[in-house]
Every structure is written in structure tokens, then in C-alpha cells.
Amino acid sequence: MKEIYGNTLGLKASEQSRLRNTYRRRVSPHEIVSPELARHLTELSRETNRQVGVLLNRKGEIEHVVVGNAHKLELPDIGRARAGQVRLRGLRLVHTHLKSEPLTKDDLTDLALLRLDMVAAIGVGHDGLPGVLHYAHLVPENGTGEFWSVSTLPDVHDGQPDVLDTLEALEEELSRKAAARAVSGRDKALLVAVCLDGNRAAAEASLSELKELARTAGVEVLDSVLQMRREADPRYLIGRGKLEELNLRSMQAMADVLIFDKDLTPSQGRHISEATSLKVIDRSQLILDIFAQRAQSAEGKLQVELAQLKYRLPRLVQSDTSLSRLAGGIGGRGPGETKLEIDRRRARDRINHLEKRIDTLSREREVRRAQRNRRDLPIISIVGYTNAGKSTLLNAITGSEVLAENKLFATLDPTSRRLRFPQEREVIITDTVGFIRDLPKDLVAAFRATLEELYDADLLLHVVDANDPSRDEQVEAVENILDSLDLMQKPRLMVWNKAELLGPDDVEALLRSRGGVAISAARREGLASLLAKADTTLFAEGASQSLGVM
């Protein structure tokens, strides 16, 4: 005989016997619950003063009988649904509510996270007879943001819907939406941002930037969530209620990944992943992934691998305890390393090896720079926020065909070209990797060989997207990184790109307040003025020492 699950402590032998006999009952596959089974459950519930429920399969057979307390049921472990799962569980929960109250949040959460066919609650009348019937089933993604449809019938005799027809139509619609999503073949993500300082505008701008990062990484963004909090939750970063909402949203939208705008601690990433059964990455990891996709040269690939290893090292955890000495006990003692210790040692050895390789490449790059310096050619380096138009500017003034895309971090490897000024004077002009807010420290450290190009520059062209609403924050982010590299003393010329998208009065006001040159690299407008100012800066006697920021 099958067992009863849940809160059986204190039940009489006769009550337990009647509960076990519940397994013998059958229900039509087309109805939620038969009047006979409903009466059996409500009488038991009234007698024991506990919620009583059954899990029915689509044949109408009872697979589990569950007893709770007066307020809720604890369901047996039937396993959580996988992320992106289309088909429903094939089980529906029918249980009693002693006060005939509607379906609770716990009922509806179980419906979604376990992907049950349906959840129903039968009200228990004063005489122990079945009363009102509340029931709910999941709904496909819709514009209203609803996860489920909830209905109520006056009693179990009053026109129950055909369960099989309802489920067949629902699964057909879910499959159709899943098939439409699968066409892209890309990861599907929900973006999550948390504002802890009360500055909602800055948090929304950062979230918008995260969307661009996700697009550049080839991720399909399904939705984004911003939560205002006074302080971060140490376990989940966001609140538990918001995490539960994300869980439901990801199940409905069939998301594969959660991408957080803030960096997660190793324990936070692990706890969120365990709670949602989804892949969880943060802003730094997303940027590292973009760099891994974009790196073309051997040096660039080494630098990305180094940054990734430094990021992953503290996040290595023991995933298999079968051969681990950490668990202790029989078979777990003795000399030697655990698998986790071996993984960490290998990672550290690889980091040391990569750092030596990058140091060698750095010395080789230094030799090439010294050769250029012997020719007494001044060097101009283009710096700026990612996607500000640096590579487009290089192409416009040198006639090159360097990759320039409307994506973040289109350029990783530095590109140098010769440029002849109108007075027949030559310079070397170099395009560099773009900067971004909260650029991972490991990434800045890994790309130091690339950024060393900036130390030999005689002039930095700081390119800014003049039309971006967050341009001031972007300028500040670039200057912070330049300051961390001790480059703020270098002569800098502000280049306000995409000026064609601003009105003439706005451009004039910008130049009056911030200085610099307004250009349109895409339309090749304002380049003569830029070159003239750069020429004056580099070749006028003493100009490069006294310029500062223009």
C-alpha cells in the first residue's frame, strides 16, 4: 500500500486507514475532481482539522495523498521543472481549504515552479461537505504579465471545464511560442539591476548599457527588472520576493540565463543559481565573454584567458564529493590533494604561465614602440568610452578599413596607422580598446600590455558620443580609468563625435562649456578642424606641455 505524505503525526489509525484508501479512488480524466472524491477529502479535512490533498495524473489516478496543517500542504519531492521546459508535469493538485479561502501565493508558486497541470482548492463547509471550488492553470507569455489564470466555481457540481481539452490547448500554445523562440538559437536572458544609492536614473542608464552588452554578446534579452533597495541582500543581492518573481518570469518566458548588472560574490551566484535552476552571470562575466568572442590576436586571446581565470579562481567549488577528502570518513582520508585543490592549483599555474607570456609580449611591444620613437614620429592615441566612434574616426582620418560596428567592444587589439598632416608632417595614430563603467579590474590588469601604448602617446584624443544622455558619466568613467593608469597628465583633446545628432545651439553650448572639437566621424564632418587643432597641439613649440585638456 502506498504511503501518506506530510503531517501524519497525531492522526488516529482509522484516519490513516481512510487516507490510504484514497489511493483506490479514480477520477474522470476530463474533470478537475469528482464530487465523490471532493466529499471524501473535505470530510477527512473537517475531521482532522488539516488540509488534505491528492496529486492526480492525467488518467485520473491518484499518485500521492498529502496531509498538511490547517493552513498549508508540504508537497512530496517530485523535482523542480527545468528552465525552458515546455511540457507540463502531467499532475494536478487538488486539496482542501478549511475556511474556503482562495488559492494562496504558495499554491500558485507551486503551480508555476513545479509546472503542475492545475491547482485546485475545495472549500470545506461547516457540515464537512464540499463547497466552493477555486482552480488555476498556467498561461503562456502575454502582455499583461500574468503567470496564471484563476477561476472560481460555486461548487464541484457546477460546470467544471474539460481538463484534457484545456491542457491540450495550453501545451500547444506553449510549444508554438517555444518553437518561435528556438528559431534564433541564442541564449535567452532576463536582466536584473539593483539600485542601492537611490539614484534611479543612473541605475536605468546602467541597465540600458547592460542591454547593449547583452546584444553585443549575442544574447536575446527577454525582459529586464530594476529593484530599489537600501542595502544588498547578502545571500541573493535582490530580495527574496523579487527572486521568486524572477523565477516565475523565467519559467513563463523560457529564459536560460539571469544577467545581473552588479558583480556577484561567489556565494551569491551559487545561491541564486540553486534557487532558480538557471545559469547566472554578472556584468564582469558578460564583458569577459564579449572580450573572448572579440579577441583576434594571440596576445588578445591570452589577455582574455588570464582575466577569465582570475575571475573564476575564487568561484571554483567542490562539485563532486564522491572522491573528495573534504567530506572525511572512510575512503576520504590520506595524503594528496582533493579535486578542488587540484583545479585551483592548475588555475594558478596557468595564471602564472599567462602572466609570463604577456610580459614577454609586452617587452616585444616596447621594442616596436622604441623603433617608432627613434623615427621621432609623434604618437596620437584615441581613447574613449566603448562604441563612441573611435574606430570610425580612425578610418575617417586615415582612409583605413578597421572594423567599426555599432556594438560595444568592436575593437580589442590596438591598431596603428600613419597619418600625414597638411604641413607634410607625419604622426602615428593608434586606436585602443574602449572603456566602460565598472570595467573589471582583472580585465584592466590583463590588458595592461595593450594599454601601455597610451604611455608613449604625445596626445590623447578623448572621443565622446555627444548625443548620449549619459555622456558626462561616460567621460567621468574614462577619466577614472586614465587616472588609475597615471595618464591624466597627458595632453588630451576632447572630440565630441556624432555632433550631427545635436542642434547647432547645443553643439555651441557644449564647446563653450567643455572645450574640444565637434565632429561627425560617420559623415566625415569637422575632421579638418580636428586635424588642425591636433597639429597645433603637437607641433607648436611648448604646446604639448601646456595644453592639458582642450
Burial class from Cβ neighbours inside 10 Å (0-12, 13-18, 19+) for residue 491 reads: buried
Task: Please tell me the distance from the alpha carbon of residue 250 to that of residue 203, in angstroms, as a whole number.
Answer: 22
The residue ranking higher by pLDDT, 198 or 339, is 198
* Cβ atoms of 282 and 210 closer than 8 Å: no
Q: Which amino acid does the sequence have at 512?
A: R
Q: Residue 427 belongs to what H/E stretch?
A: strand 426-431
For strands 118-124 and 130-138, give the pairing: antiparallel
Q: From the CB of residue 172, how many other CB atoms can be counted at a distance below 10 Å? A: 11
Residue whose cell numbers read 486507514: 17
**H helices present in 31-129, as ranges:** 35-48, 105-113
Q: How far apart are CA 8 and CA 15, in angstroms?
A: 10
Q: Which residue has the higher pLDDT, 428 or 121?
A: 121
Q: What is the pLDDT of residues 413-432, one digit of tens each?
A: 567 777 777 666 788 888 87
Which range (182-186, 289-293, 329-333) has the least confidence? 329-333
Query: Over the stretch 252-297, which tens digit does the pLDDT of each residue have?
Result: 777 888 999 988 888 888 889 888 888 898 988 888 888 788 777 7
CB 96 within 8 A of CB 110: no
How does pLDDT run across 352-382, given as a tens digit for each residue? Answer: 998 888 888 778 777 776 766 666 778 888 8
- Asked whether residue 526 carries a pLDDT value surpassing 50, the answer given is yes
Q: Cell numbers for 37, please give them.
A: 472524491
Mean pLDDT of the chain: 82
Of the pLDDT bands very low, low, confident and very high (cuts 50, 70, 90), residue 69 is very high
Does the fold of domain 374-546 match that of domain 188-286?
yes
DSSP secondary-structure letter at 61?
Answer: B
Rounded to 5 degrees, what are φ and ψ at 94?
Answer: -120, 120
Q: Is 432 in contact with 390 (CB distance < 8 Å)?
A: yes
SS (H, E, C) 238-263: CCHHHHHHHHHHHHHHCCCEEEECCC
Supply the pLDDT for residue 202: 85
Contacts with 424 (C-beta within 8 Å, 6 or more apart), sequence order: none
C-alpha to C-alpha distance for 522 and 171, rounded to whole angstroms: 49
Copy the grid coordinates of residue 504: 547647432
Residue 510 CA to residue 126 CA, distance in Å, equals: 76
Give the model's confidence band at 152: pLDDT under 50 very low, under 70 low, under 90 confident, else very high.
very high
Q: Residue range 382-387: average pLDDT?
A: 86
Among the four given CATH numbers 3.40.50.2300, 3.30.499.10, 2.70.98.30, 3.40.50.11060, the one describing domain 188-286: 3.40.50.11060
Q: 105-113 and 240-253 are packed helices; what angle lies between their axes, rounded to 10 degrees?
A: 40
441 or 519, which is more confident? Answer: 519
Q: Check residues 5 and 432 and name the one with the higher pLDDT.
A: 5
Would you say 122 and 21 are in contact if contact means Cβ atoms under 8 Å apart?
no
The CA-atom distances, in angstroms, between 535 and each of 265, 419, 518 are: 48, 11, 16
For 316, the grid coordinates are 571554483
Closest CA to 124 of 188, 211, 45: 45
- Say if CB 478 and CB 386 are below 8 A apart: no
| CA–CA separation, 494 and 517 (whole Å) | 6
CB atoms within 10 A of CB 442: 17
Domain limits of the chain?
4-181, 188-286, 374-546
Residues 211, 216, 221, 227, CA torsion sign? negative
Instruction: Judge contact between 126 and 46, C-beta under 8 A.
Output: no
Q: What share of the chain is helix, strand, coil (3-state, %, to 5)?
A: 40, 20, 40
Question: Which has more confidence, 549 or 239?
Answer: 239
The three-class DSSP label of residue 277 is: coil
Structural element, H or E, at residue 419: strand 415-420
Quick one: pLDDT band at residue 223, thresholds 50, 70, 90? confident
Give residue-wise pLDDT tens across range 7-17: 889 989 999 99
CA dihedral defined by 344, 347, 348, 351, rounded to 10 degrees? -160
pTM above 0.85, yes or no: no
Which is it for strands 459-465 and 379-384: parallel, antiparallel or unpaired? parallel
The phi and psi torsions of 132 (rounded to 5 degrees) equal: -65, 150
Element of type H or E holding 57: strand 52-57
C-alpha cell at 167: 491542457
Q: Which residues contact 356 (CB under 8 A, 6 or more apart)?
A: none
DSSP 8-state secondary structure symbol assigned to residue 26 = B
> Across the strands, what pairs with 381?
430, 460
Q: What percent of the chain has pLDDT over 70?
A: 83
Supply the CATH classification number for the domain 374-546.
Answer: 3.40.50.300
- DSSP H/E element including 181: helix 163-182
User: Is residue 351 a contact partner of residue 307, using CB atoms and an 8 Å limit?
Assistant: no
Determine the residue type at 238: I
Amino acid letter for position 129: L
User: So what's the pLDDT on residue 549?
Assistant: 46
The cell for 205 is 542608464
3-state per-residue secondary structure call for 123-143: EECCCCCEEEEEEEEECCCCC
End-to-end CA distance of the chain: 86
- What grid cell was written down for 543? 604646446
Helices and strands (H and E) in the chain: how many = 17, 17
Q: Are the beta carbons of 156 and 122 closer than 8 angstroms?
A: yes
